[in-house]
Amino acid sequence: MNYPLAYFITFTTYGTWLHGDIRGSVDRSHNKYGDGFLPEKESFEQQDCKLLKSTAVFLDEKDRDIVLNAVLSQCDFRGWFAYAVHIRSNHVHIVLSALEKPEKIMTTLKAYSTRALRASGVKKARFWTTHGSTKYLWTKEKLEAAIKYVRDGQGIMMAYGHSKNKTEPGAKATGGILLALSLGL
């Protein structure tokens, strides 16, 4: 199998981004590359809300640190190169290189993040939505754009971080964002 330069993986917390949401969403019929999002529609969102089995999950600062460290530890352990990671209150963005399929990577990161959150005492039935977004980044330009989006397109930056010297020297992994500046961004 030919692997891309990197993947841009995004997943959301449970119950925080329902079909019909103003930000757009995908379903089984709207999930191909280049497809548009489902239209904003309050009835879709209300219907999905009724199907929730527990309350929506929002990650506070402590939770975001736990998820960040879980992601970084799995990247280190598995030899994945994390270019950028941003943990938000209701979603996670990761840009990384690996010689594996992105669905397996996402499943692994969700599982280890869940274990870490539960080990810290956070009690939730579910933390994450069923799947997420797995974009293949085949060119340096696409990789740079994804890193820039994660770094600059997510509102106020939470913190800088590093994973075994894979990013800028002297940075700390606290607060929720990992930036690898190896591309000169």
Confidence check: pLDDT of 38 > 50? no
Inter-residue contact 37 to 20 (CB < 8 Å): no
Strand boundaries in 30-165, DSSP class E: 81-87, 91-97, 133-137
**Crossing angle for the helix pair 61-78 and 102-119, to the nearest 10 degrees:** 130
Q: Among the listed ranges 20-29, 82-91, 100-109, 158-167, which one has the minimum average pLDDT value?
A: 158-167
Residues 51, 67, single domain; the answer is no
Residues 66, 41, single domain; the answer is no
Residues 156, 71, single domain; the answer is yes
Closest CA to 63 of 179, 158, 184, 132: 158
Residue, of 168 and 183, whose pLDDT is higher: 183
Whole-number mean pLDDT of the chain? 74
Q: What's the pLDDT band for 161 if we cut at 50, 70, 90?
A: very low
Region 123-141: mean pLDDT is 87
Residues 30, 104, single domain; the answer is no
Number of structural domains the chain divides into: 2
Residues 117, 28, single domain; the answer is no
Q: What's the pLDDT band for 89 if we cut at 50, 70, 90?
A: confident
CATH number at residue 88: 3.30.70.1290
Residues 111, 71, single domain; the answer is yes
pLDDT of residue 111: 96
Report yes or no on 83 lying in a domain: yes
The radius of gyration computed from the CA coordinates of the chain, to the nearest angstrom, equals: 16
pLDDT of residue 40: 47
User: Both tokens of residue 7?
Assistant: 């993947």
Question: What is the reported pTM?
Answer: 0.71
Encoded amino acid at 14, one letter: Y
Residues 63, 46, single domain; the answer is no
- Give the C-alpha distances (Å, rounded to integers) separating 75 from 3, 50, 151, 155, 162: 17, 36, 18, 25, 11
Confidence check: pLDDT of 102 > 90? yes
Closest CA to 109 of 159, 73, 65: 73
Strand boundaries in 68-181, DSSP class E: 81-87, 91-97, 133-137, 177-179
Report yes or no on 144 lying in a domain: yes
Residues 34, 109, single domain; the answer is no
Report yes or no on 1 lying in a domain: no
Report yes or no on 115 lying in a domain: yes
Region 68-95: mean pLDDT is 92
Share of the chain above pLDDT 90, in %: 41
Confidence check: pLDDT of 166 > 50? no
Residue, of 123 and 20, whose pLDDT is higher: 123
Range of the domain at 23: 17-55
Residues 83, 26, single domain; the answer is no
Residue, of 162 and 63, whose pLDDT is higher: 63
